Amino acid sequence: MLNKEIFLKEVAGSLALLSKEVTILNAVNLYDINIVAEDFFPGLLNLIYGYKLKNANYLEKNAPAIDLFDKINKIAVQVTSDNSSKKINHTIEEFNKNESYKIYNRLIIFILIQKKKYTTEFNTDGKFVFDKTKDIWDVEDLIKDIRELDTDQIKKSAVIYQRNYVTNTMQLKKRRPVRLIPL
């Protein structure tokens, strides 16, 4: 097996696991993993696309409509586990309300679970361009783009996952001791 294939399968498996874990934990109202994802994805997206994304929550806790930002490339990213059209519309409304379009040329909705096939036309009130086919991403979109990278970049993607996501998840688990309850 080629190294590229080995690393690609490792990254694909990691992203699939993350996506499924988000789905399952969110189903029981456990959202810590979403916060961990906001710390993990800037590094991965920066590697894949050459962005300079940072976590917006370090500047403003729970910043409206924006979780990650890159002022150099003028990109804002909402990281969410909610794949509904309602959530996307709400994000666009908040982006407009806060006049974020004056700072960022592009809003990307990154969905941690599988995105839907959207039939909704998302209204930006003409304040910025939002193309649902290009600006709504999920982990399947990422792995397709990662596949186009050279072997060293794919290996770096695997390392970013290991260093950030796995480490942060382990720290969360350490903070929450598991108590067995006798039945």
Per-10-residue mean pLDDT for the chain, 183 residues long?
Answer: 87 90 92 85 94 90 88 96 96 96 97 95 95 97 95 89 62 52 55
Question: Does residue 68 lie in a domain region?
Answer: yes
pLDDT for the residue 99: 95
Question: Does residue 182 lie in a domain region?
Answer: no
What range does the domain containing 33 cover? 3-175
pLDDT for the residue 111: 97
Question: Does residue 44 lie in a domain region?
Answer: yes
Question: Does residue 169 lie in a domain region?
Answer: yes
Question: Does residue 99 lie in a domain region?
Answer: yes
Full-model pTM: 0.86
CA dihedral defined by 54, 57, 60, 61, rounded to 10 degrees?
Answer: 180
Question: Does residue 181 lie in a domain region?
Answer: no
Task: Please answer whether residues 69 and 104 qualify as being in contact, where contact means their C-beta atoms are separated by less than 8 angstroms.
Answer: yes
- DSSP assignment of 90-131, as one string? HHHHHHHHTTGGGT-SEEEEEESS-----------TTSS---
Question: Does residue 35 lie in a domain region?
Answer: yes
Task: Please answer whether residues 135 and 104 qualify as being in contact, where contact means their C-beta atoms are separated by less than 8 angstroms.
Answer: no
- DSSP assignment of the chain, as one string? --HHHHHHHHHHHHHHHHHHHHHHHHHTT--HHHHHHHHHHHHHHHHHH----EEGGGTSTT-TT-SEEETTTTEEEEEES---HHHHHHHHHHHHHTTGGGT-SEEEEEESS-----------TTSS---TTTSEEEHHHHHHHHHTS-HHHHHHHHHHIIIIIIHHHHHHHHHS-------
Question: Does residue 142 lie in a domain region?
Answer: yes
User: What's the number of domains the chain is made of?
Assistant: 1
pLDDT for the residue 117: 95
